[in-house]
Structure formats: structure tokens, C-alpha cells
């Protein structure tokens, strides 16, 4: 009887926290794709899903804070691409090994700082700023790559992503989970995280409360850029190369995962704990549809429909009149 009550309380807690529907979708997708493909629940495929989901999760973590304060970062995929190209160049030139992760992190942070400064002090909507820098960063990356994939030669750096300290669980997945835990702590146990909720709830209230709003806007974009840069470096380590298409799917997938997970585009509602669920939904959709032979164009249509459905169901649409 006690066990049943605990389970009921757990289910009720999920529903009241707004996570009940996303969790139900994850479970439904697992059941659906398990029936649709015998290979879906194989160890090999689950390992592949963990690797794919990890890259997306890392890219989403910083961007979630930007959405949480009511803004948007469209340049995440472009930063991943540019940092990936810079990281490979740095490895080949200086034999950095694992130190290349720091290069990626710092490069991404600087790019994010540029976004944040233009947004906060130039008083230009974040949508416009990051749409412009998306083009700038992509062009810079293509200039470095010159239309071809760049390879590197560093086994130690490669093992950072594809090695398996835990059998059947790639290192990049372990890194992603640890980073997610740290970001959840940052979101709910630090001043920075609390300020993101307050700014997203209303800038006027945040300013009246004495919060340096513009400074924290810059911090949020710096974190988004840093995590995108970290993702770019690890993505290169996982793939063994930096090519012109690196990160191209992250523009839709990051926003989809954040919104589907339950972080409101209006700001002030959600958090990185929900982003994990959103990432699982997108990763399961990608993997399951691939196994069932659905082409990439149809997959884009499905994911777009999922994002629209998530907004219709869970967002406070009356507040999304102007993107901050």
C-alpha cells in the first residue's frame, strides 16, 4: 500500500511540475519505436543514441538560460561549426591534445560575449543579433575550412569523446550527464540562476529589485557560447573531423529540445532539468525515424510539428508578443 502511494505521489509530482507530458512522450516513443524496429532496443543502438543525445544536450544547456530569461540564441550551431574548425586547426598546429577542449570553451565564450554585448548594450532584439552572427560565424568557419573537412591526429583527444570508461557508455555521454548536473545546480542554487528566472519573469521587476539586468544578459550569452564551443570541440573529437556541415542540425534541434522540454519562450518558466527530457524526445525521434527508414525531409516536418504542438500545449502565448 505504501509503495503504491509513493508511486502515486511521484506521478502527481511530475504532472504538477509540468514534466508529466514530456515524460509520457518519452515513454510513448520508446514503446512505439520498439514495436516498429527490432534494432531499437539493442545495446549497439542505445549506445548510438547516448552519443547523439549527448552532443545535443551539451549544446542546449547554455542556450536554455538564454531562453529562460526570455531571449533566444540562433547562433549555437554556427558557434559549434566555427569552434570545431578552430579546434582542429589548433590541434594540428600546436598538438594540444585534451587542452583543445579549453580552446573550444574559451573561443565559444568570446563569441557568446560578442552576442551578449551587442544585444544588451546595443538594445537590438536577440533574435536579430544572433540571426546576424549565425551568418558571420558560419562564413568565418567556411573560410577556414575552404569547403573541405579537416582531420586531426590526436588519439588522446579523440578518446575524450568516443572512449568508454563505462562499458557501452561513451565518454561524451558521461561528460554530458556530469555537465547537466552542474548546470541544474547553477540554475537553482546560485544567484545567476535565480536572476535568469526573475529577468524572464519581467525585466521591469528585475530592474526595480536592483538586478544589473544588462550585465546578466551578457553572462547568459557567454554561457551559451561557452557551452556551444565545448560542444564543438567534443563533436570534433567524436567525429574525428570538422566539416562544413558540422552543427547544421542544431539550429532546429536545440530550440526544439528546449521548448519541448518545457522551458517557456516567454521566459521565467522551465530550466535545464527539463531540457534533458526535451533532448531525449528529439534524439529518440531522430534515431527511431532513421531505423524505420523515414527520409530526412519528413523528419524535419515531424520535428517542426512537434515544436509547434509543444508551444500550443505548454507556452503562455499571450506573453510572446515581442521577443526580448
Distance CA 39, CA 203 (A): 49
Question: Which residues have a Cβ under 8 Å from the Cβ of 263 and sit 6 or more positions away?
Answer: 64, 67, 68, 269, 270, 271, 274, 275, 278
Q: State the Cα–Cα distance between residues 115 and 265, nearest whole angstrom.
A: 19
pTM, rounded to two decimals: 0.89
Q: In a structure prediction context, what are the per-residue pLDDT tens digits for the chain, which is 324 residues long? A: 455 454 444 444 444 445 677 888 889 989 999 998 888 989 889 888 998 899 999 999 999 999 999 999 999 999 999 999 999 999 988 888 788 899 999 999 999 999 999 999 998 999 999 999 999 999 999 999 988 998 988 888 888 888 888 888 899 999 999 999 999 999 999 999 999 999 998 888 899 989 999 999 999 999 999 999 999 999 999 988 899 999 888 988 999 899 888 898 888 889 999 999 999 999 999 999 998 888 888 888 887 887 787 777 655 545 544 445
Give the pLDDT score at 162. Answer: 87
| Distance in angstroms (rounded) separating the CA atoms of residues 205 and 165 | 47
Per-domain residue ranges for the chain? 28-313
Partnered with residue 241 across adjacent β-strands are: 151
Which residues pair with residue 151 across a beta bridge?
241
Please give the class, per CATH, of domain 28-313: mainly alpha
d(CA 186, CA 178): 13
Burial of 239 from C-beta contacts in 10 A (0-12 / 13-18 / 19+): middle
* DSSP 8-class letter at 316: -
The position carrying cell 502511494 is: 5
Degrees to nearest 5, angle at CA 296 with 260 and 236? 80
Rounded distance between C-alpha atoms, residue 34 and residue 15, angstroms: 25
Nearest-angstrom CA–CA distance, 237 and 88: 9
- The H or E element containing residue 242 is strand 241-242
pLDDT tens string 139-159: 999 999 988 998 988 888 888
- According to the model, what pLDDT value does residue 7 have? 43
CA distance 122 to 120: 6
Angle at 304 between CA 30 and CA 61, to 5 degrees: 70
Give CA 115 to chain center in angstroms. 17
The three grid cell numbers given for residue 162, joined into one nine-digit string: 568516443
Cα–Cα distance for residue pair 181/196, rounded to 1 Å:
18
pLDDT confidence of residue 234: 94
> So what's the pLDDT on residue 278?
92
C-alpha span between 101 and 300 (Å, rounded):
31
Tell me the DSSP string of 189-232: HSHHHHHHHHHHH-HHHHHHTT--HHHHHHHHHHHHHHHHHHHH
Q: Which residues of 85-114 are buried (b: 16+ CB within 10 A; e: fewer)?
A: bbbbbbbeeeebeeebbebbbebbbebbbb
For residue 70, give every residue at least 6 positions away whose Cβ sits within 8 Å of its Cβ, in sequence order, or none. Answer: 199, 200, 203, 265, 266, 267, 268, 323, 324
pLDDT computed for residue 324 by the predictor: 55
Contacts of 195 (CB under 8 A, 6+ apart): 206, 211, 216
Amino acid at each position: 500500500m505504501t509503495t503504491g502511494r509513493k508511486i502515486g505521489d511521484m506521478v502527481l509530482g511530475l504532472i504538477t511540475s509540468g514534466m508529466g507530458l514530456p515524460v509520457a512522450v518519452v515513454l510513448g516513443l520508446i514503446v512505439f519505436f520498439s514495436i516498429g524496429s527490432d534494432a531499437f532496443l539493442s545495446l549497439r543502438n542505445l549506445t548510438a543514441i547516448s552519443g547523439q543525445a549527448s552532443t545535443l544536450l551539451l549544446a542546449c544547456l547554455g542556450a536554455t538560460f538564454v531562453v529562460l530569461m526570455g531571449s533566444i540564441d540562433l547562433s549555437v550551431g554556427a558557434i559549434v561549426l566555427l569552434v570545431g574548425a578552430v579546434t582542429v586547426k589548433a590541434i594540428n598546429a600546436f598538438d594540444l591534445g585534451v587542452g583543445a577542449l579549453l580552446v573550444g570553451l574559451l573561443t565559444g565564450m568570446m563569441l557568446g560575449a560578442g552576442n551578449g554585448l551587442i544585444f544588451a548594450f546595443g538594445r537590438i532584439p536577440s533574435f536579430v543579433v544572433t540571426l546576424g552572427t549565425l551568418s558571420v560565424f558560419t562564413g568565418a568557419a567556411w573560410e577556414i575550412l575552404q569547403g573541405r573537412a579537416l582531420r586531426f591526429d590526436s588519439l588522446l583527444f579523440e578518446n575524450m569523446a568516443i572512449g568508454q570508461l563505462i562499458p557501452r557508455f561513451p565518454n561524451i555521454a558521461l561528460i554530458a550527464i556530469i555537465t547537466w548536473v552542474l548546470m541544474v545546480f547553477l540554475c537553482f542554487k546560485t544567484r545567476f540562476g535565480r536572476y535568469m528566472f526573475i529577468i524572464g519573469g519581467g525585466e521591469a521587476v528585475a530592474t526595480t529589485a536592483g538586478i544589473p539586468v544588462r550585465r546578466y544578459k551578457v553572462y547568459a550569452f557567454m554561457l551559451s557560447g561557452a557551452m556551444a564551443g565545448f560542444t564543438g570541440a567534443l563533436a570534433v573529437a567524436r567525429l574525428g573531423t570538422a566539416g562544413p556541415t558540422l552543427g547544421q542540425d542544431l539550429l532546429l534541434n536545440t530550440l526544439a529540445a528546449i521548448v519541448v522540454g518545457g522551458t517557456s519562450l516567454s521566459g521565467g518558466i522551465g530550466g535545464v532539468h527539463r531540457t534533458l527530457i526535451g533532448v531525449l524526445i528529439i534524439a529518440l525521434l531522430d534515431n527511431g525515424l532513421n531505423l524505420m527508414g523515414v527520409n530526412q525531409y519528413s523528419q524535419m516536418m515531424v520535428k517542426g510539428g512537434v515544436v509547434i504542438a509543444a508551444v500550443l500545449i505548454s507556452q503562455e502565448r499571450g506573453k510572446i508578443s515581442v521577443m526580448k
